[in-house]
């Protein structure tokens, strides 16, 4: 049976079943099927405070950024643990990888601070509320002890170990990216 014929039955599916199909279509980048499933969904009306869209946009942006930060911290801490254990027998460029990811941990934390200052929100609330604060604190502390690279030094390390230099951002660039994502979500939700 073709998806066109199958789509006639989408309205009879439960919201949970349609959500599963939506996620599957998104996972395979099937925009046509995604649109068909989304259009078959019913609508509900909800009543929320006028701050709900802004809060949802902020939490979505910061939640996604927290996941990025945790990934950077995990790579950084893993590279440091392996390098410290193996030292002279460690794989080539492991020390450089650790130094690069230490830079990224620091820059992403600074970029988030700049973003939150820009929108006049308290960093302590988000850092204390979101999961992963201990891992990020450990990574930031270790990276600070090792010293901070300049952006040019970090880009040089990225090139040396075969990573795209576009992954190396400044704190201002991180803040700008967070701001841009926040504005996009505000336009949709607020």
Compute the chain's Rg from CA coordinates: 22
**How much is the pTM?**
0.82
Cα atoms in the 13 Å half-sphere on the side-chain side of 169? 16
Structure tokens at 70: 């945790």
pLDDT (tens digit per residue) in 161-179: 999 999 999 999 999 999 9
- Rounded CA-CA distance 125/108 in Å is 17
**146 CB-near residues (< 8 Å, 6+ apart):** 98, 99, 102
The distance in angstroms from the start CA to the end CA of the chain is 41
- Rounded CA-CA distance 53/59 in Å is 10
Among residues 160, 64, 151, 63, the alpha carbon closest in space to that of 106 is found at 151
- Rounded CA-CA distance 115/127 in Å is 13
- Rounded CA-CA distance 165/152 in Å is 10
Tens-level pLDDT at each residue, the chain (190 residues)? 566 677 788 888 888 988 998 999 999 999 988 999 888 888 889 999 999 999 999 999 999 999 999 999 999 999 887 766 665 666 667 788 999 999 999 999 999 999 999 999 988 888 888 999 999 999 999 999 998 899 999 999 999 999 999 999 999 999 999 999 999 999 998 7
- Given a contact cutoff of 8 angstroms between Cβ atoms, the answer to whether 155 and 168 are in contact is yes
- Rounded CA-CA distance 54/60 in Å is 10
């Amino acid at each position: 049976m073709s998806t066109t014929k199958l789509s006639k039955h989408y309205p009879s599916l439960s919201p949970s079943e349609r959500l599963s199909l939506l996620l599957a279509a998104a996972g395979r980048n099937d925009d046509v099927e995604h649109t068909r499933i989304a259009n078959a969904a019913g609508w509900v009306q909800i009543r929320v405070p006028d701050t709900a869209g802004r809060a949802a946009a902020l939490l979505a942006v910061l939640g996604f950024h927290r996941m990025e930060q945790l990934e950077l911290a995990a790579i950084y801490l893993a590279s440091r643990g392996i390098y410290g254990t193996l030292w002279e027998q460690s794989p080539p460029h492991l020390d450089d990888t650790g130094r690069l990811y230490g830079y990224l941990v620091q820059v992403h934390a600074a970029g988030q601070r700049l973003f939150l200052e820009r929108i006049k929100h308290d960093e302590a609330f988000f850092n204390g509320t979101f999961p992963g604060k201990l891992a990020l604190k450990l990574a930031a502390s270790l990276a600070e002890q090792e010293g901070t690279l300049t952006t040019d030094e970090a880009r040089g390390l990225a090139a040396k170990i075969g990573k795209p230099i576009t992954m190396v951002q400044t704190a201002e660039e991180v803040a700008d990216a967070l701001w841009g994502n926040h504005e996009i979500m505000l336009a949709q939700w607020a």
